[in-house]
Amino acid sequence: MTTKLFRHAHIYTPKMGRTPAAGTEQGRIHQWPDGALLVKDGRIAALGDDVEKNIESRREVKEYDLEGAAVVPGFVDPHTHACFAAKRETEFSMRLAGKSYLDILKGGGGILSSVRDVRAASEEDLFRFSRRLLQGTLHYGTTTIEVKSGYGLDTETELKMLRVIARLGRETPQSVVPTFMGAHAVPEEYRTDPDGYLALLLNEMLPAVGGLASFCDVFCEEGVFSVPQSRAVLQKARELGMRLKIHADEVHDLGGAALAGEMRATSAEHLLAASDQGIDALALGGVVAVLLPATAYSLKKPFARARAMIEKGVPVALATDLNPGSCFCESMPFVVSLAVMGMNLTPQEALTGATLNAAWAVGMEKETGSLEPGKLADFIVLDGESPATLAYISGSRPIRSVWKAGERVA
Ligand code: NIG
Ligand code: FE
């Protein structure tokens, strides 16, 4: 039994409620200046003022002096495509020269070029490339990460991706949440028969991935999957026991947010083009809005309307969207900084978005996302006095150390 005591910490954390933090709760951060954190066997035993009475024998306790630094929960990154086999830098240059993201996809590039890379890669090479990506995110404080499949688009390669994602969960320090995203694009071999691909998804792929994925996600977008096609995929996934996510209204307002609300999905993601009705539907359905400001930045698009969402009672979470095309970003501090500077979230709201609400978005709220007794001791020691340091220090790494289940991992 290992017991660790972290002293002289300025602890900042959201607190778990019965539902994700919405409205004014989004910005409610509890703090203990000069507080302490007691960790037993990888979990938080006590914090703040309750610590001393929880120590049975001082001799068995390893002590750390954090010298007044801010301590926040480890980041939960609830939306990534961090399982791929090659970068797409040429495509980035095409976008800079004026070609649109969806036009590149229509021309057989974009997601489809990653599909060719992932199909060609051995399982071992795919694992190694992805492990490097996860190490990058860990360095920036991500202690729990969702990873989507969706660069296979045939049963065999989707299963290969999901095996790699499961192995990442076993062989990296992070908790990894697997999402099946066979509905990420229509593969080239079905270009003239998209309904044939939908049938493959419903009748073969979804039944085959059972047990390997906690969530199912679909790219509901013009020229990709329509609202009725997305609904069919999600209905089948739900029947098979998966929870639901939707890439909704990223480029066009197709009604993806409304679909998320209607289906009471766990989360709707992107939402750059979501309408007022879409936002109302999210609030009504209790859906977490997972916002990806680094994607808006990389696509040179206006940010999602986070303030309107918070005002209407939609719980907001933040994610990197780490992927080889629309946004190659490993850094949650950068995302928090964009959320504060570009979407006008307060540092407190952004912190809840990057931790507790993000944990709700991936079904990990009982384990992580806030510093509370019983939860995993996943935390970050910041190189500053408060969560504002994440926006204040821009473009570098405002982190002294990263701890996962009570162990120093970066
Ligand atoms: O979230 N929009 C769809 N999927 C990803 C991009 C994937 C890619 O370009 O490889 C996204 O932006
Ligand atoms: Fe995505």
Mean pLDDT value across residues 284-311? 98
Binning pLDDT at 50, 70 and 90, where does residue 50 land? confident
Query: Per DSSP, what are the bridge partners of residue 83?
Result: none
pLDDT value of residue 52: 76
Number of neighbours of residue 284 by Cβ within 10 angstroms = 15
Categorize the per-residue pLDDT at 394 as very low, low, confident or very high, splitting at 50, 70 and 90: confident
Q: How far is the CA of 336 from the centre of ligand 1 (A)?
A: 20
End-to-end CA distance of the chain: 23
The helix/strand/coil state of 9 is strand
Sequence letter at residue 215: F
26 lines ligand 1 (CB under 6 A): no
Ligand 1 pocket mutation pick from 101, 118, 184, 246 by most atoms within 8 angstroms of CB? 184
The mean per-residue pLDDT over the stretch 251-273 comes to 97
Instruction: Kindly report, residue by residue over 339-367, the tens digit of the pLDDT.
Output: 999 999 999 999 999 999 999 999 999 99
- Judge whether residue 220 has pLDDT over 70: yes
Residue 10 pLDDT: 96
Most ligand 1 atoms within 8 A of CB, residue of 111, 130, 298 to mutate: 111
What is the distance in A from the centroid of ligand 2 to the CA of 60? Answer: 46
What pLDDT shows up at residue 56?
A: 75
Helix (H) / strand (E) element for 255: namely: none
By DSSP bridging, strand 267-270 and strand 399-404 are unpaired
Angstrom distance (rounded) from CA 185 to CA 152: 10
* The pLDDT of residue 284 is above 70: yes
pLDDT of residue 210: 86
Q: Is 40 in the pocket of ligand 1 (CB under 6 A)?
A: no
Binned at pLDDT 50, 70 and 90, residue 329 comes out as very high
182 lines ligand 1 (CB under 6 A): no
Count CB atoms within 10 A of the CB of residue 23.
14
Q: How far apart are CA 133 and CA 128, in angstroms?
A: 9
Q: Which atom of ligand 1 is nearest to the CA of 151?
A: 10
24-361-390-84 Cα dihedral, nearest 10 degrees: -160
Average pLDDT on 172-179 reads 98
Q: What is the pLDDT of residue 167?
A: 98
Q: How far is the CA of 77 from the centre of ligand 1 (A)?
A: 15
From the centroid of its chain, how far is CA 230? 21
Expressed in angstroms and rounded, the spacing between residue 238 Cα and the centre of ligand 1 is 23
| Whether 353 contacts 343, CB under 8 Å | no
Class of domain 75-361: alpha beta
Task: State the pLDDT confidence band at 39, using cuts at 50, 70 and 90.
Answer: very high
Q: How many CB atoms lie within 10 A of CB 54?
A: 15
* Amino acid found at 60: E
The response to whether residue 247 sits with its C-beta less than 6 Å from ligand 1 reads yes
Contacts of 117 (CB under 8 A, 6+ apart): 84, 85, 86, 151
Question: In this structure, how many other beta carbons lie within 10 angstroms of the beta carbon of residue 101?
Answer: 21
Ligand 1 atom nearest to 185, measured from its CA? 3
State residue 53's pLDDT score: 77
Tell me the pLDDT tens digit for each residue of 58-95: 778 999 999 999 999 999 999 999 999 999 999 999 99
Of all residues in the chain, what percent carry a pLDDT higher than 70? 100
> Hey, where are the domains in the chain?
3-73+370-408, 75-361
Q: Is residue 117 very low, low, confident or very high in pLDDT (cuts 50, 70, 90)?
A: very high
Cα dihedral sign, 364-369-375-377: positive
Q: Which residues contact 107 (CB under 8 A, 6 or more apart)?
A: none
Which atom belonging to ligand 1 lies closest to the Cα atom of 321? Answer: 1
Indicate whether residue 109 lines ligand 1 (CB < 6 A).
no
Q: How far is the CA of 386 from the CAs of 44, 353, 399, in angstroms?
A: 21, 16, 12
Give the domain 3-73+370-408 fold.
Answer: Urease, subunit C; domain 1 (2.30.40)
Q: Over the range 77-89, which residues count as b (16 or more CB within 10 Å of their CB) and which as e?
A: bbbbbbbbbeebe
Q: From the CB of 91, is ligand 1 less than 6 Å away?
A: no
Averaged pLDDT, 46-54 = 83
373 has a pLDDT exceeding 90 = yes
User: Which whole number is the average pLDDT over 108-126?
Assistant: 97
pLDDT-derived band at 54, boundaries 50, 70, 90: confident
User: Which residues are near ligand 2, the ion (C-beta closer than 5 Å)?
Assistant: 321
Q: What is the mean pLDDT of residues 322-326?
A: 97
- Taking residues 191-197, what's their average pLDDT? 97
Question: Who contacts 368 (Cβ-Cβ below 8 Å, separation ≥6)?
Answer: 73, 74, 76, 143, 144, 175, 359, 375, 376, 378
**DSSP strands (E only) in 162-214:** 175-183
* Ligand 1, atom 1: closest residue by C-alpha: 321
pLDDT band at 1 (very low <50, low <70, confident <90, very high): low
Rounded to the nearest angstrom, the distance between the alpha carbon of 73 and the centre of ligand 2 is 24
Among 215, 219, 255, 256, residue whose Cα is nearest residue 237: 215
Q: Using the atom order of ligand 1, give the atom closest to the CA of residue 269.
A: 1
Q: How far apart are alpha carbons 228 and 259 in whole angstroms?
A: 9
